[in-house]
Amino acid sequence: MRKRAVLVVLLLAAISVAAPCIDFEAGVIRGGGLSFLFGSYLEAKAAMLAETGSTSPGSLGRSLATLFPDWGVGAYGEARLLSWLSLRLEPRLSFMGASRLALTDTELPFCRYSVSFSTLVVPLLARAKLNLGPGFLTVSAGPFYGAIVGEITTVDRYVSTTMKGALTTDFGQVQFLGVSGGAGYSLPLGIGVAALELRADCAITPATGQEGVLGGEMFPLGIALVASYGVRFGGGAR
């Protein structure tokens, strides 16, 4: 954890030192889309819903994954390394989660379940650009560090009853690593550059929580349409 922080600081320092002599872009980013969770935490929940939805021995209910929003805001700093390649650090605060609609073994809905949380996602992206029309196509890919910030909230909504759990977590108690990537189109606009990208963040290590606080593994996945606007500094800005 400490090693990771040192690496991030060194990287930022390198970018800032190089900023006067290379292209540097900084801006804000906002996105929205869908999020999903995978892993044993959700599988256990699905199994429990299947069992509590059983009205006769030998048959099980089931639960269907339903759409769950993913939205986030953040900022980025981007250093141009080559004419077509730049490196972007893009810390974002995202809201993610998953939900399921539980059905009895007679296919009647009885519970809507959701689990949600806010995460700090810090991707380090390599961005390739290709001129196209008035702007340019971009393709991004790179690793990210993620950590759940604040509470993990569960909601179980039945016909007449709603139950809500809010598990307090300390920052860094539930963290995960993953890969982020996407593609989009950027357009010079005003004093800066506006961009719209389809972006996916996919955890490759589980968010389990220290000391097994979650009681299972969660692999968050977010797919979002991301809009950004940034301003360029330094020599060579086009």
Partner 1 sequence: MKARSLAGISLAAAAAALLLSCNPLSSPLPDNAVDVPVVQHLAYSGTFTYSVDPGATSRDVYFVFTNPSVTANADQKPSVEGAAIVIDGKSLPSPGPQPLYSENSEPRSLAERIAEFNRDPFKALGLDASAAARSEFPVGPGEPSFDSFGELDTLKDLGPGNATISVDATCQFVSPAPVTIADGTTRKLNIWVANDCWTIGGTKSHLVDGSMVAALADSFLMTGSANDIYDWVTAVIGAEWGTHGFSNLIPPNREITILLSDIEADNSDTGGIVGYFWAGNNFTTSSVPDSNERIMFVIDAVMYAARVPALGETVWSADNYWPKIVISTLAHEFQHMIHFYQKAIVQGAPSGTDTWINEMCSMIMEDLVADKLGVEGPRGVSPADGSAGSPGITEGRIPDFNSNSYYPLAVNSDYGLTDYSISYAFGSWLARNYGGTELLRRIVQCPETNTTAVINAVAAESGPQEESMARLLEKWAASVLLSDMTTAPARYRYNTRGWTTSRAGGLSYNLGSINIFNYAPELYVFTQAGTVPGTTFNRSSNIYYQAALGLGTARSWTLTVPQGILTTVVLK
List interacting residues with partner 1 (CB under 8 A). Answer: 31-34, 41, 44-45, 47-48, 50-60, 66-69, 71, 99, 101, 104-105, 108-112, 114, 116, 134, 152, 154-169, 187, 189, 194, 196, 209, 211-216, 225, 227
Q: 209 vs 220, which CB is nearer to partner 1?
A: 209
Shortest reach from residue 173's CB to partner 1, in Å: 9
Q: 69 vs 234, which CB is nearer to partner 1?
A: 69
DSSP of 99-113? EEEEE-TTS-EEEEE
Shortest reach from residue 45's CB to partner 1, in Å: 7
Q: Positive or negative, the Cα torsion across 213, 215, 217, 221?
A: negative
Q: 82 vs 211, which CB is nearer to partner 1?
A: 211
Shortest reach from residue 48's CB to partner 1, in Å: 5
Q: Residue for token digits 């709603």?
A: 162
Q: 2 vs 160, which CB is nearer to partner 1?
A: 160
Phi, psi of 158 (to 5 degrees): -105, -175
Give the per-residue SS3 of 153-214: EEEEECCCCEEEEEEECCCCCCEEEEEEEEEEEEEEECCEEEEEEEEEEEECCCECCHHHCC
Q: 114 vs 139, which CB is nearer to partner 1?
A: 114
Shortest reach from residue 26's CB to partner 1, in Å: 20
Are residues 125 and 87 in contact, defined by beta-carbon separation less than 8 angstroms? yes
CA atoms of 118 and 96, how far apart (whole Å): 6
Shortest reach from residue 166's CB to partner 1, in Å: 5
